Structure 1
């Protein structure tokens, strides 16, 4: 066979069988294939999913928690109730009554003790009094004659013109005449007292609250209440307090009373705490006395805050407290950073937060926020906050 030998320049070169050119080409192919394989392995390592355990760690929610401790909390009792006169005085007809001639006061007026509120016609009673006065004059005249007769009889006894028996009879006649004078005087005084009771008067100084009588009206002892008064103008709020709150309220406890529709509060003091509890509502009455003010209208509705001492309790922000059909609760971080549901009972609310009177001690880690997105048993990543 003829074989061409390699030439330099532009002449074709033919590899002879068994020459080194063919192994060199296969080496280059192997090198390229290895590089591609390395790239594929690196891409797979980069794109492959992370281990399940590591994914769980990255997905744990970060939640802010705090250890609230215990704080001094003012014991404040909130209550609602009605306003009334502290000592309400109903005024009616004390005498026999009659036709009302004048009404001298209006609701809202201040009156003094014994002041006339209304007058009743007394023309008939005045005539009766005049008759009794005349009877007194007649009885005095009879008594004067009897006294003169007795004195003359005394002078005649010594001369023997009349007996001692006649003298004693004259003395008895005189005494009877004097007694009739006293009877007539007593009758006149009684009638004058009756006439005085025809006037409807204020029993004590105070404020007129209502008026239920007009001139021309016929009144009697059965007419009922004609005026209502507040003694000395003193008002009170009859606050309805839950049975559980009553033991913490005592006489002298300060309070603030706010009438409905007003933003103004009036200072007051508890002057009486009900000794009984309503068996139906399980509430008692705390009576709060307040000074008179035109904005405090008897019969109106009001709210009150009664401050009675202090106690210690954990205080939490509103965001930490959750509520559902079962009541109020918080989430507590337990072992393994898992949240646990803890039922609580709330107390006083202040600018600092809500006092927790039952359910936690204050040493637990409490979830401050995001509680609505958690569920019992869920594992979290707690971040401790300093309140």
Structure 2
């Protein structure tokens, strides 16, 4: 057989394909080179920072910190105290008369009563019979007085005729007067018995709140039995606040207080009406008595806390977040020269919900770091952001 190597159309199986053209590969390589050149040029031009740009970059590294200028404001000085609640005037009520067997108890603890209201009654059957007897004796005496007056009137009509002597007139007049006196005596005895019977009832000496009851029906009571009821006159309560000797010296009668009983959330406004003139030599404490209006939530014997306003002072007021403390004491950071923070020792005054009063260490014109003090060091440079104290401290 003859094989022709020069012809390509005679045997398709022996014809080799033509090699691909490298155009697409060259395009990809050119694109990659162009990107590298662009990145290099960008790095060259933008990498050459100016001094201002460098400074701006350095500034970005300085922390931005909020500062306030507190100024000075009038701040109420307050004291915190604890103590017990009690009736301002605690009235014990007992037997005022001769006593006897209790027939009924008409009130319960917690009930409001009026002056003279009957709290309990005592059996008076014997005393009532005595009163009936005395009432009858009055009628007998009045009858005797009427007869004596009639006899005197007849004698006066006969004396001018000479039938009756002057001595008889005087005798009959004395008889009449004695009869009138017996009437008055019987009336006084009845009134005395009625008053005695009235005292058998246990009555409220004044308007107020019944606190305790220590008597039951059927009980025999007398003047020696003791207290049957305890009352709070007018329902007025008080808190007996315990204060240190130094604190007691700063308050006076008329100081306003807010009292919160333990276990409740309601606070009651009261007024200091008495400051103890005596200090306990052991505890070095005294009592301030705070008068309170009646309220069912104020229960004698309960425990309460009080905040007493003892006066006012003019001082800088800072948020509590501005004050730091360590083993050397309390301090704040203030803005110094070159926007660097400077540590400033302070003496704290009253601490309240409004903030912390600074008794010493600041005059109010400084710019004080508000809340980032724990993350700063003395001498560190910051970017201060001044914030109005009124927006921070609520006015």
Give TM-score scaled by structure 2 length: 0.68
Judge conservation of contact 2:257–2:290 (CA < 8 Å) in 1: no
Is the 1:146–1:177 contact (alpha carbons within 8 Å) kept by the matching residues of 2? Answer: yes
Give the aligned partner of residue 166 of structure 1.
168
Name the structure 2 match of 1:288: 291
* SS in structure 2 of the partner of residue 151 of structure 1: helix
> How many residue pairs were aligned?
319
CA contact (8 A) 2:257 2:272 kept: no
Equivalent-residue separation in structure 1 for 2:83 and 2:121 (angstroms) = 37
Q: What do the CA deviations read for 1:194-214 (whole angstroms, capped 9, x no partner)?
A: 100110111222221111111
SS in 2 for 1:96: coil
Instruction: Determine which of 73, 76, 80 is the counterpart of 2:78.
Output: 76
**3-state DSSP of counterpart to 2:306:** strand
Please, which runs of 5 or more residues in structure 2 have no aligned partner?
1-62, 388-395
State whether structure 2 residue 185 is matched by structure 1 residue 188: no
C-alpha deviations, 1:200-236, integer Å up to 9, x for none? 1112222211111111112122222211222333333
8 Å CA contact 1:255–1:288 kept in 2: the answer is no
- Deviation string 1:82-108 (CA, Å, 9 cap, x unpaired) is 222233332211111111111011111
- Computed over aligned residues only, the root mean square deviation of the Cα atoms, in angstroms, reads 3.6
Q: Measure the CA separation in 1 of the matches of 2:365 and 2:133.
A: 93
Residues 236-279 of structure 1 deviation map (CA, whole Å, 9 limit, x = unaligned): 3233344444566455554332110112223x231514262524
Indicate the residue corresponding to 2:351 in structure 1. Answer: 348
CA drift of 1:355 comes to 1.4
Hey, what's the Cα distance between the residues in 2 that align with 1:167 and 1:379? 121
| 1:297–1:360 Cα change, 3 Å | same
Deviation per CA, 1:343-385: give whole Å up to 9, x if none: 734323224x3212245545678787898899xxx97436485
- 1:15-26 matches, within 5 Å, as none
Is the deviation greater in 99-108 or in 243-252?
Answer: 243-252
- Superposed displacement of residue 138, structure 1: 1.9
Q: Taking structure 1 as reference, are residues 279 and 372 closer, same or farther at Cα in structure 2, changes over 3 Å only?
A: farther
Q: Give the structure-1-normalised TM-score.
A: 0.69
Report if aligned partners of 1:316, 1:354 keep a CA contact under 8 Å in 2.
yes
2:128 to 108, 122, 126: 126
User: C-alpha separation between the residues in 2 aligned to 1:282 and 1:213?
Assistant: 38
Tell me, yes or no, if the aligned pair for 1:93 and 1:223 is still in contact at 8 Å: yes
Structure 2 match to 1:218: 220
State the Cα distance separating 1:183 from its structure 2 match: 0.6
Q: List runs of 5+ in structure 1 lacking aligned partners.
A: 1-61
Whether the 8 Å CA contact 2:275–2:289 is kept in 1: the answer is yes
| Contact map agreement 2:245 2:285 (CA 8 A) in 1 | yes
